[in-house]
Structure 1
Amino acid sequence: MQIPSIAPIADVALQQTLQDAINNKTKPRGSLGRLEDLAAQLGLIQGSTQVVINEPAILVFAGDHGVVAEGVSGYPQDVTWQMVENFLANGAAINVFARQNGCALHVVDAGVNHDFGPRPALVDRKVARGTRNFAVEPAMSPQELETALKHGMALAADLPGNVVGFGEMGIGNTTAAAAIMHKLTDVALPQCVGAGTGLSSEGIARKQAVIAAAVDKHAGATSPLEVLATFGGFEIAMMAGAMLKAAALRKVLLIDGFIVTSALLVAARLQPAILDYCVFAHCSDENGHRLMLENLGARPLLNLGLRLGEGTGSALALPLLHAAANFLNEMATFASASVSTSDQ
């Protein structure tokens, strides 16, 4: 299938113009810290010194994982569809945070093992009723992978705004994400595997053993798409497709936690320039996320000890995106405010 081509945002002349505009605001140079970097990034993505945050949206992709049959999660698989119902009822943390920040929220059934029926608030892109058990066989077929990627691309293309946040829900998906991380980064498996929904030390050891055996079984899966098809979930694959298309359309990507970053890891191996469009919302408390971010050369905006998923970090970082855009657009310059500049 055709992977969208993503152009780097590098522009030496515009970078200097943006830096001059930022430096001429009524403040000591560099005193707004990471917001200054974020403002420059937004300007480069949009090709302008006047940036706009237009109709931000968060896509929450839900899917089930066959590997749950191996006892890798502290929660039963039914929690996936039950939490989707909670999203649809506006009762989850992501609903609260998206609502308080004026952000549209779209819940996508990528592959939940449940029949929801026609629901006006649910985007039905179900590929299958969950992936297969990757401890036994590849999680998805090449055709299923292609379908998931294409659905994700189409969803990103249909969004009206220029900022897309990503979230997920899927019992077992930290197991999938840890396997993807280990395969694509060569980080030692124990450093990739965490507690997920709250496993005990014994549960973590079992989860690690299941992944280790599966990695040995599927040693031939080495390319990014092979790894995704073998170990991933429909929600992870659909996110990767949506990320690739969103970046190709020069949208800002708000990256949430461990599972979302695993989808980005695949996308970045396919199109490295996608990282230019990414704003990393936070460093998750899930084991492995910090190392995954380091592998991508990413600097997260927040470190709040979050490990919920759902796109909650994306929603919480959105006000910082607005702050970066607003100071660049609205803050007075030394000249316009008749404020003396430093002698240094």
Structure 2
Amino acid sequence: MPSDMEVVMSLLADTIAQIAPLDAGVMQAARARQDMLTKPQGALGRLESLSIQIAGITGQVRPQLKQPAVVVMAGDHGVAAQGVSAFPSEVTPQMVLNFLHGGAGINVLARHVGARVVIVDVGVASEIPAHPDLVSRKIAPGTRDFSVEPAMSREQAQQAVEVGIAVAVEAIDAGADILATGDMGIANTTASSALVAAVSGMSVAEVTGRGTGVDDAGLAHKVAVIEQALKLHNPNPADGLDLLSKVGGLEIAGLAGVIIGAASRRVPVVIDGFISGAAALVAAALAPESKAYMIAGHRSVERGHQAVFGSLDLEPVFDLNLRLGEGTGAVLAISVCQAACKILDEMATFGEAGVSGKE
């Protein structure tokens, strides 16, 4: 019998191996259809390119996105003990309960776009009461304080990625045809800044923002804590599991798995803000082919988010000065993705409408 570790290794490797390039032929056909619709070529800008990307992802010339879902991964961070957040760790389980009761920002915006919300406890430090809408897949009660020791073992990092893969596949098997990523975890901007600095090569100060709203002194302290951690651990930017185990978060690992799982099933995945962006960097390190399946939902106020776009060659759908996380920006961007696909599918061609086209 294989060990649990061998099973996990095999499942992750198998999932990555299933990720194929986008369907070039379908994209060519979708582009040709866009060029025949009753408008000047390119007149709908990003909606056109989004529809073509989604066609290539799904393998459908006229894709339809009717069952969106957002996966919100929750986990705590040991580095919160260093005072890097304006909020205490107790807020993490309290907000998970708020999600489950339907009262958070992500619940409101998910209802607005008709998206199912999947709440996953992958590493909350306290026990959350059982709830029919809670997916309990806890790997550990939070990470360790990565300013003094690795955040988690390499095995735990892989297990958390595996949780994300499984949750994504379960959502897709239940009918989801587009996924969004969301997060909850006090101090997770600290872990994300560490990951982004490690991957991008930019200085910690360049990619570290105020998170939940720390003051100038708090920001300087946050930068110093991250610098100390990176000097101590020296994570390998090309090794996603090394990044996660040294300075990552369990919910960040879970989101990386969601991205990889979606890509393996040819389902588009809309990336939320800074924390989801850090997870996307990890996913790209683990599975470079997954980048083609990512859609950047929005540009966060967090200053390091732009470094994520540079590393992944992504352009956000919009910029609304959001910094909440939870998947809020991503679910709003799902509505734009749906609109893009509806244009491609429902808009008449010049021939169908009897309109004279360009000579």
Shorter-chain TM-score: what band? over 0.9
Partner residue of 1:249?
Answer: 265
Out of 188, 199, 206, the position equivalent to 1:191 is 206
> 1:51-92 deviations in whole A, cap 9, x for unaligned?
121421000001000001111111111011111111111111
Distance 1:279 1:30 in 2: 19
Distance 2:26 2:105 in 1: 39
Out of 282, 285, 289, the position equivalent to 2:305 is 289
- The structure where helix makes up a greater share of residues is 2
Partner residue of 2:351?
Answer: 335
- Given that 1:282 and 1:301 are in contact with CA atoms closer than 8 Å, whether structure 2 keeps it comes out as yes
Partner residue of 2:246?
Answer: 230
Give SS of 1:254's match: strand
> 1:107-146 deviations in whole A, cap 9, x for unaligned?
1111111111221121101111111000111011122112
The structural deviation recorded for 1:293 is 0.9
- Given that 1:221 and 1:230 are in contact with CA atoms closer than 8 Å, whether structure 2 keeps it comes out as no
1:47 and 2:63 correspond: no
Range with greater deviation from structure 2 (265-274 or 303-312)? 265-274
Partner residue of 1:117?
Answer: 129
Partner residue of 1:271?
Answer: 287
Distance 1:110 1:331 in 2: 43
1:105 and 2:125 correspond: no
Partner residue of 2:197?
Answer: 182
Partner residue of 2:337?
Answer: 321
1:146 and 2:158 correspond: yes
Runs of 4+ that moved beyond 6 A: none
Out of 327, 331, 344, the position equivalent to 1:311 is 327
Partner residue of 1:8?
Answer: 21
Partner residue of 2:227?
Answer: 212
- Given that 1:65 and 1:172 are in contact with CA atoms closer than 8 Å, whether structure 2 keeps it comes out as yes
Give SS of 1:98's match: helix
Distance 1:220 1:304 in 2: 33
Distance 1:242 1:147 in 2: 13
What percent identity do the matched residue pairs reach? Answer: 43
Taking only aligned residues, the RMSD between alpha carbons, in angstroms, comes to 1.2
Distance 1:237 1:261 in 2: 12
Distance 2:334 2:181 in 1: 12
Question: Compared with structure 1, are the counterparts of its residues 70 and 321 closer, same or farther at alpha carbon in structure 2 (3 Å cutoff)?
Answer: same
Counterpart residue identity of residue 107, structure 1: I
Gaps of 5+ in 2: 1-8
The structural deviation recorded for 1:45 is 1.1
The structural deviation recorded for 1:327 is 1.0
The structural deviation recorded for 1:152 is 1.1
- Given that 1:90 and 1:96 are in contact with CA atoms closer than 8 Å, whether structure 2 keeps it comes out as yes
Partner residue of 2:3?
Answer: none
The structural deviation recorded for 1:220 is 5.6
Range with greater deviation from structure 2 (204-213 or 220-229)? 220-229
Partner residue of 1:162?
Answer: 177
- Given that 2:72 and 2:181 are in contact with CA atoms closer than 8 Å, whether structure 1 keeps it comes out as yes
Question: Compared with structure 1, are the counterparts of its residues 221 and 276 closer, same or farther at alpha carbon in structure 2 (3 Å cutoff)?
Answer: closer
- Given that 2:259 and 2:294 are in contact with CA atoms closer than 8 Å, whether structure 1 keeps it comes out as no
Distance 1:311 1:25 in 2: 33
Give SS of 2:167's match: helix
In the superposition, the TM-score normalised over structure 1's length comes to 0.97
In the superposition, the TM-score normalised over structure 2's length comes to 0.93
Residue correspondences, number: 342
Partner residue of 2:141?
Answer: 129
Range with greater deviation from structure 2 (216-225 or 31-40)? 216-225
Counterpart residue identity of residue 139, structure 1: A
- Given that 1:61 and 1:235 are in contact with CA atoms closer than 8 Å, whether structure 2 keeps it comes out as yes
Distance 1:294 1:143 in 2: 29
Distance 1:224 1:20 in 2: 38
Counterpart residue identity of residue 213, structure 1: Q
Distance 2:82 2:324 in 1: 22
Give SS of 1:196's match: coil
Distance 1:47 1:267 in 2: 22
Give SS of 1:62's match: strand
Distance 1:199 1:117 in 2: 31
Counterpart residue identity of residue 106, structure 2: I
Counterpart residue identity of residue 266, structure 2: R
Counterpart residue identity of residue 41, structure 1: Q
Distance 2:255 2:181 in 1: 7
The structural deviation recorded for 1:305 is 0.4
Distance 1:232 1:157 in 2: 23
